[in-house]
Amino acid sequence: MSLAIHPHLSSHAPLHTKSLPLSMGPTLLRHLNHHTRRRALSITASVKQDTTVWTQTPLVSIKPAAESLFHVTVDVSESPEVAASYKSPGQYLQLRLPEVEKPAFLAIASPPSLAAERGVFEFLIKSVAGSTAEILCGLSGGDVVELTSVMGKGFPIGSISPPEEYQSVFIFATGSGISPIRSLIETGFGADKRSDVRLYYGARNLKRMAYQDRFKDWESSGVKIVPVLSLPDDNWNGESGYVQAAFSRAEKNYNPESTGAVLCGQKQMAEEITSALVSDGVSKEKILMNF
């Protein structure tokens, strides 16, 4: 069932104002005109919001994915128009809950093929205290949520295609930013046809790193996984610190003209990685983000 956000408001609703006594000065008139304009803008904004359509869908399951992270699966099998709106890795949608005013913007973690084959969307959601996400992560299978159609263009992978011409692709993700990266890898972007595809995946520690059970499959598809822990324990022998530092320590044996990158996660990480790649000669148009 599809629901609009608010009841319909006519864009032609009259603005009621009383005639003004001649004794009113120009300052007051300007004030009233300003108030009238603000009211008109408010009505226009309300009308614009009415174009968002919400579809009720049931939750299939909510399971722990890592510390503070949850796998959330939503059934869209009875909403084929919503399922069909998901076409490209990196796209996202809005999800809202009954009695909760603020919706959440969520990147879809599962590949588009899963929506077509099984009628589900999968998400990786970080539970943040006081947020819509925290409430969502506390629900159970069978509870109903509301979704918009899928939004955004996703990762513009066409910019680094065909694979034969872009042999190096560096992927950077931090925290729950791995969510749309999973969709990208499992959709396939010719990683096995490229000579150097690396995923630098940053988390505080292994307990906060989701999808470790998928690493083997990702590597078999041609993606080398480089976990980077900012606060590892004493038993950790891999990369530590931040992903941008780990990348700067790596060998720079790639051709910038045949290199692309995909980024999702912390703003500082994205800015520093972009700066480093551009300095090396990588075209900014080949550094892809989904927002």
Beta partners for residue 240, in sequence order: 229
CA within 13 Å, CB half, 177:
22
Is pLDDT at 64 greater than 50 in this prediction? yes
Over the stretch 130-176, which tens digit does the pLDDT of each residue have?
Answer: 999 999 999 999 999 999 999 999 999 999 999 999 999 999 999 99
pLDDT at 38: 54
Report helix, strand or coil for 166: coil
Over the stretch 103-133, which tens digit does the pLDDT of each residue have?
Answer: 999 999 999 999 999 999 999 999 999 999 9
Whether the model pTM is above 0.85: no
Range list of H helices, 66-106: 80-84
Q: Which residues of 176-185 are buried (b: 16+ CB within 10 A; e: fewer)?
A: bbbbbbbbbb
Closest CA to 17 of 3, 2, 29: 29
pLDDT at 194: 98
pLDDT at 32: 41
Is pLDDT at 58 greater than 80 in this prediction? yes
Q: Beta strands 120-126 and 104-107: pairing type? A: unpaired
pLDDT at 21: 42
Spatial contact of 109 and 150, defined as CB atoms under 8 Å apart: no
CA 233 to chain CA centroid, nearest Å? 30
Least confident of 33-42, 59-68, 256-265, 266-275: 33-42
Report helix, strand or coil for 67: coil
Least confident of 8-17, 233-242, 271-280: 8-17
Tell whether the torsion through CA atoms of 222, 226, 227 and 230 is positive or negative. negative
pLDDT at 199: 98
- Residue 169, judged by CB atoms within 10 A of its CB (0-12, 13-18, 19+), counts as buried
At 6, the pLDDT band (50, 70, 90 cuts) reads very low
Average pLDDT, the chain: 87
Over the stretch 195-220, which tens digit does the pLDDT of each residue have?
Answer: 999 999 999 999 999 999 999 999 99
Q: What is the average pLDDT across 45-64?
A: 82
Closest CA to 55 of 108, 100, 10, 2: 2
Spatial contact of 169 and 261, defined as CB atoms under 8 Å apart: yes
CA 196 to chain CA centroid, nearest Å? 25
Over the stretch 19-50, which tens digit does the pLDDT of each residue have?
Answer: 334 444 544 445 445 554 555 455 455 445 55
Tell whether the torsion through CA atoms of 245, 174, 269 and 205 is positive or negative. negative
Q: One-letter amino acid identity for 186?
A: E
